[in-house]
Amino acid sequence: MSLKAAEELTTPQEHVDPASIPERSAEEQRTWRTRGRLGMLLVIPGFAFIAIFFVVPVFSMLAMSLYTQPEGAVAGEFVPGFNVATYAQVMSTYGDTFVRSFAFALIATVAALCIGYPMAYLVAVRLRGRPLLQGLLLVVIIAPFFSSFILRVQSWRFILSDESWVVGFLKAISVLPEDGRLTATALAVVAGMTYLYLPLMTLPIYANLERLDTRLIEAGGDLYAGGFQTFLRVTLPLSMPGVMAGTILTFIPASGDYVNAVMLGNNVDTTTVGQIVDSRFFHAADYPSAAALSAVLMGIILILVTLYVRRFGTKEIV
Amino acid sequence: MSTQQSGSTEAPVSIDQAGPTPRSRRGLDVGRWFVPVIGGLAFLYLLVPIAYIFVFSFNDAGRTNLTWRGFTLANWQDPCRPSQLCEAFVNSLNVAVIATVVATVLGTMIAFGLERYRFRFAGSANLLIFLPLATPEVVLGASLLSQFLNLGVQLGMGTTVLSHIMFCISFVVVAIRARIATLDPALEEAAADLYASGRTAFWRVTFPLLIPGIAAAALLSFAISFDDFIVANFNSGAFTTFPQYAYVAARRGIPAEVNVLGSAMFFGAIALVLGVQLWRYWRNRRWATL
């Protein structure tokens, strides 16, 4: 990820251009310098915390992925080493698990975009000028944040269970065969992920569409563009920063997800990388493999996100 | 998030509020029905599982809450009945409160530092804020656990709190920077014109304007910390949080009392947010009619 892209993703669009700050007199510059020192004092404690509890642990994890197990050691006992073979081994064993995890994450992200965009558009554009209704629906969008996510996944287990009315209904209309089921399928896992990360998709798009100038949509109509064409050529390009933020915020947790895979899938065909990391750490006490898997997962995500931002980013993002 | 309209006491300069504008029939036609129908279904989709949690909190379930066995109020009367449940709930509250306070203080300081001062390493600083957000929780949890294992640190409440502060800081910084960036510089200039020193202008003008943003960031970080399962699962050791309790219980069926606590938490938070929204709506209307 380029620094500029990271900066744009973490700062809002109204960011003040430093070049627009007027020149300062000598005296003002002196105060600016002392204020600069205050700025350092402000950021140092937080950055020190992030350095100690994020940056160092990532290196710690990279180091651990290279540890070796000495001859005759008990499970969970490793010594520092430089055993690159762990990477080759986990990639050959779990290569298809990686493919599956990213495929699940990709499908869930696209599905969340297809559902989240109309939602955000409805609240931000259609209901403009009706603040009470807007506020209420916004509360509904953020409501899932206030209810336990494990309990929500458990609800999906009820809804998709073999005895539920959903499955009964789908069988009645012959969408699902008589012996078909929804739990323990990849579909259930992806549906669970889509549901879980939908607010993360909807909120950034909403924040973007909220600022959309509807006169531009009207201008599209005045220039004889149809509704769909106006959307494609005016609204969608203008909302790209929101779409970018939403898709990235959805894709990242979805690719590391394992709660959905365990609770809704729990099946060899739905195993995700997160699940393997968890079981390597806690059941096999195979710390180097778990660390190597995490490192590869993080590396792939960073590469994918950087490529995505480069490819689809609007001019100001790249 | 939901707090973007607040803090601005001037009339919103939106063409919609300025009066009825002639709408182009064709332009606003984008799926006249498509958008409300899909949007409405999506809202239903968001709410149904939450409704399930609430409904099943009244299930006369006994030990496992897997099928509907009839209505009862007993679960609500004694939510602490399953052993360790309320301890886990209190553990989560404690962790979330401490993590939120520390993360909000550190995050607000960073947001101010980055937004108002110039640094030589501003790009790296932004990357350092962004990276924890771009790392899946399973990697955050696993890397921190690697560190704690390497150092031989005893896992427990302390390590859980530290891990939560770490991933909450970035959210706080992002949320508050957005607010600082949208502050009208004219307000601080006006304070300076009225002979306020930098410090006075900050504490009397800038900081009060940012309080809603800081509160929203704190609420976000509380919600994230309270609901975190993955990072806590890696770093809590024998210390059990509420989501961990629910996850372990899920293997044999979550007791209905878990749904009671989850629902109570949910309605408490919703009442708080709705109250703030309604108050803001009412206040804006008052300003509008003044």
Q: How is chain A classified by DSSP, letter by letter?
A: --HHHHHHHHS-TTPPPGGGSPP--HHHHHHHHHHHHHHHHHHHHHHHHHIIIIIHHHHHHHHHHT-BPPTTPPTT--B----THHHHHHHHHHHHHHHHHHHHHHHHHHHHHHHHHHHHHIIIIITTT-HHHHHHHHHHHHGGGGS-HHHHHHHHHHHHSTTSHHHHHHHHTTSS-TT--STTSHHHHHHHHHHHHHHHHHHHHHHHHTT--HHHHHHHHHTT--HHHHIIIIIHHHTHHHHHHHHHHHHHHHHT--HHIIIII-SGGG--HHHHHHHHHHTS--HHHHHHHHHHHHHHHHHHHHHHHHHH--TTT-
Judging contacts by C-beta atoms under 8 Å, the chain A residues touching residue B110 are: 42-43, 46-47
Count of structural domains within chain A: 2
For residues A290 and A281, the answer to whether their CB atoms sit within 8 Å is yes
ipTM surpasses cut 0.90: no
Q: Does B200 touch chain A (CB under 8 A)?
A: no
Residues A167 and A100 both lie in one domain: yes
Task: Tell me what pLDDT residue A105 has.
Answer: 95
CATH class of B87-252: mainly alpha
pLDDT band at B287 (very low <50, low <70, confident <90, very high): low
**Residue A187 belongs to domain spanning:** 84-313
pLDDT at residue A313 in the model = 66
Q: Are the beta carbons of A58 and B28 separated by less than 8 Å?
A: no
Q: Is A68 helix (H, G, I), strand (E, B) or coil?
A: strand
A92 and A204 part of one domain: yes
Q: A17 lies in a domain?
A: no
Q: Is B11 on the interface with A (CB under 8 A)?
A: no
CB pair distance less than 8 Å for A227 and B262: no
In a domain, A5, yes or no: no
Confirm whether A41 is domain-assigned. Answer: yes
Which one of B42, B117, B163 has the shortest CB-CB distance to A35? Answer: B117
Higher-confidence residue: A165 or A54? Answer: A54
Identity at B223, one-letter amino acid code = A
Question: What are the chain B neighbours of A61 within 8 Å (beta carbons)?
Answer: 139, 142-143, 146-147
Question: B277 vs A186, which has greater pLDDT?
Answer: A186
The CATH number that applies at residue A156 is 1.10.3720.10
Interface test with B, best of A33, A115, A150 (most B CBs within 10 A): A150
CB neighbourhood size of A110 (10 A): 14
C-alpha A66, offset from chain centre: 28
pLDDT at A11 over 50: no
Does A78 reside within a domain?
no
Instruction: Choose one of A65, A92, A113: the last residue of a domain.
Output: A65
- Is the predicted pLDDT of residue A175 greater than 50, yes or no? yes
pLDDT of the residue at A206: 92
Q: Cα B229 vs. chain centroid, distance in angstroms? A: 15
CA distances from A25 to A32, A37, A142 (A): 10, 19, 47
Percentage of chain B beyond pLDDT 90 is 29
Q: Which position has the higher pLDDT, B234 or B199? A: B234
Q: What is the pLDDT of residue A130?
A: 84
Domain's final residue, options A65, A93, A122: A65
Residues A130 and A220 in one domain: yes
Q: pLDDT band at residue A35, thresholds of 50, 70 and 90?
A: low
Q: Other CB atoms closer than 10 Å to residue A107's CB: what's the count?
A: 18
Q: What is the pLDDT of residue B16?
A: 46
What are the φ and ψ backbone dihedral angles of B19, each rounded to 5 degrees?
Answer: 145, 170
Instruction: Please indicate, yes or no, whether residues A144 and A210 belong to a single structural domain of this protein.
Output: yes
User: Is the Cβ pair B4, A207 closer than 8 Å?
Assistant: yes
Q: Please determine, for residue B6, whether its predicted confidence score (pLDDT) is greater than 50.
A: no
Instruction: Kindly report, residue by residue over B262-283, the tens digit of the pLDDT.
Output: 999 999 988 888 888 788 778 7
Judged by phi (left if over 0) then psi (alpha if -120 to 50, else beta), residue B19 lies in: left
Min Cα separation B49/chain A (Å): 5
> By CB neighbour count within 10 A (0-12 exposed, 13-18 middle, 19+ buried), where does A169 fall?
exposed
Q: Tell me, what's the pLDDT at B257? A: 86
Residue A93 domain flag = yes
Residue A115 has its nearest CB partner, among B5, B42, B280, at: B42
Q: Is the pLDDT of residue A99 over 80?
A: yes
Put simply, whether B206 touches A (Cβ < 8 Å) is: no
Which residue, B193, B220, B61, is CA-closest to B133? B220
Task: Determine the pLDDT at residue B64.
Answer: 66
**Per the domain annotation, does A258 fall within a domain?**
yes
Q: How many CB pairs under 8 A join A and B?
A: 361
User: Is A79 among the domain residues?
Assistant: no
Tell me, what's the pLDDT at B63? Answer: 65
What is the band of A318 on the pLDDT scale with cuts at 50, 70, 90? very low
Quick one: average pLDDT of B195-214? Answer: 85
Q: Please report the pLDDT score of residue A115 as a whole number.
A: 92
Provide the 8-state DSSP code for B71. Answer: B
Q: How far is CA A107 from CA A247, A311, B139, in A?
A: 11, 19, 21
Residue A9 lies in a domain: no
Helix or strand (DSSP H, E) at B88: helix B85-116
Q: Where in chain B is the domain with CATH 1.10.3720.10?
A: 87-252
Task: Note the pLDDT tens digit of each residue in A217-227.
Answer: 888 878 877 77
Which chain A residues are closer than 8 Å to B133 by Cβ?
A: 10, 249, 252
Which residues are paired to B59 by β-bridges? B71
Which pLDDT score, from 0 to 100, does residue B209 have?
86
Provide mean pLDDT across the span B156-164: 94
- CA-to-CA dists, residue B265 to A115, B58, B100, angstroms: 27, 16, 17
Q: Ranked by mean pLDDT, which of B8-12, B267-271, B286-290 comes out on top? A: B267-271
A79: three-class secondary structure by DSSP? strand
pLDDT category at A116 given cuts 50, 70, 90 is: very high
CA angle B227, B232, B233 (to 5 degrees): 110
Q: Across all residues in chain B, what is the average pLDDT?
A: 82
Q: Residue B196: which pLDDT band, with cuts at 50, 70 and 90?
A: confident
Residue whose tokens read 């007993």: B74
Residue-averaged pLDDT of chain A: 82
Is the pLDDT confidence value at A136 over 50?
A: yes
Hey, is the C-beta of B61 within 8 angstroms of any chain A C-beta?
no
Collect all residues of chain B within an 8 Å Cβ-Cβ radius of residue A246: none
> Partners of A68 in the beta sheet?
A79
Shortest CA distance to A189 belongs to which of A163, A156, A165, A164?
A156
Structure tokens that stand for B78 in this block: 């004694």
Q: Pick the closest to residue B112 from A45, A13, A20 (CA basis).
A: A45
